[in-house]
Amino acid sequence: MLSSFFSPLRFGILFALLVVLIWRWLPRWMRALALVPLLACVLMTLPWVANAMIGWQEGRSAVSESCLQSPPHAVVVLSGGTTRQPTDETDFSALGESSLRRLIGAVDRLRQQPDARLVISGGSTVYGVGEGALMRAFAERLGVAGENTMLENASHSTWQNAQFVRALEPALPSRIWLVTSAAHMPRSRYAFEQAGFEVCAWPVDARYTRANSVGYYLPSSDALEKSDAVLHEWFGEAAYRLGWFRSLTRNPWASVDGR
């Protein structure tokens, strides 16, 4: 997705390196101020800090009881990226972990509602084959009938997911299930509500873990990844609410080669 380039933690680490390089030339007050983001970067490598952050983020989108009692008849699932170049649309192992978990969660929801329609949104073609096309083929392999599936394959961001799904023909009902990673759900929900949908959240791919060893209190790369994901969601949601990045929305009917 387009927004994956914007990693707050990545820029924080670059800032930290810059501070180290020019440390000797900084006045004392500026050194003290620069230590704050440096300390924050260190703290976010600790699993207990990262899991506190992601636990709060994931807890913002619980499944509504009213949605379970009167479920929508459209299940919209957002793609979550690929890990390498797929050889064709049946090379399912190229799908990223988030894409697989989201799709499996959507298919599980469909099995509870056989009359519902599956809508897959996501059109990144970084590796030539779109994420959405891979997910649609995998959904069929999992038993979802092709005629029961719609594909939106032009979007490159969460905001575009919402806008382009809204523009699909035939039009979807305004009330939908939205399936995406639990941490990604608050930003996605806001985007889809702004596109005119009434969203029933179906969060999957939860990443929160409780303390299970002394390693929970020691730095780890997994903690850094979780912290980065949460910061990305916080900054992304704030940007959407402030109206940033919306100008990046493109014509959903433009050809893939012509974009």
Asked if pLDDT for residue 229 goes beyond 70, the answer is yes
Write out pLDDT tens, residues 186-210: 999 999 999 999 999 999 999 999 9
Give the pLDDT of residue 18: 74
Distance CA 89, CA 146 (A): 14
> What average pLDDT does range 98-104 have in this prediction?
96
Q: What are phi and psi of 200, to 5 degrees?
A: -105, 115
Please name the fold of domain 66-207: Rossmann fold (3.40.50)
Beta-carbon contacts of 166 under 8 Å, excluding residues fewer than 6 positions away, are: 172, 195, 196, 197
The rounded mean pLDDT for the chain is 87
Write out pLDDT tens, residues 137-191: 999 999 999 899 999 999 989 999 999 999 999 999 999 999 999 999 999 999 9
Asked if pLDDT for residue 249 goes beyond 90, the answer is no
Give the pLDDT of residue 254: 44
Beta-carbon contacts of 109 under 8 Å, excluding residues fewer than 6 positions away, are: 75, 116, 177, 179, 202
**Residues 205 and 95 sit within 8 Å (Cβ to Cβ):** no
Q: What does DSSP assign to residue 63?
A: P
Asked if pLDDT for residue 123 goes beyond 80, the answer is no
What are the residue ranges of helices labelled H in the chain?
Answer: 8-22, 28-43, 47-58, 65-69, 97-112, 131-141, 158-166, 185-194, 221-241
Strands 149-152 and 175-181: unpaired
- Spans of all domains in the chain: 2-57+214-241, 66-207
pTM of the model: 0.84
Confidence of residue 91 (pLDDT cuts 50, 70, 90): very high
**Residues 20 and 168 sit within 8 Å (Cβ to Cβ):** no
Asked if pLDDT for residue 45 goes beyond 70, the answer is yes
Give the pLDDT of residue 33: 72
Give the pLDDT of residue 255: 38
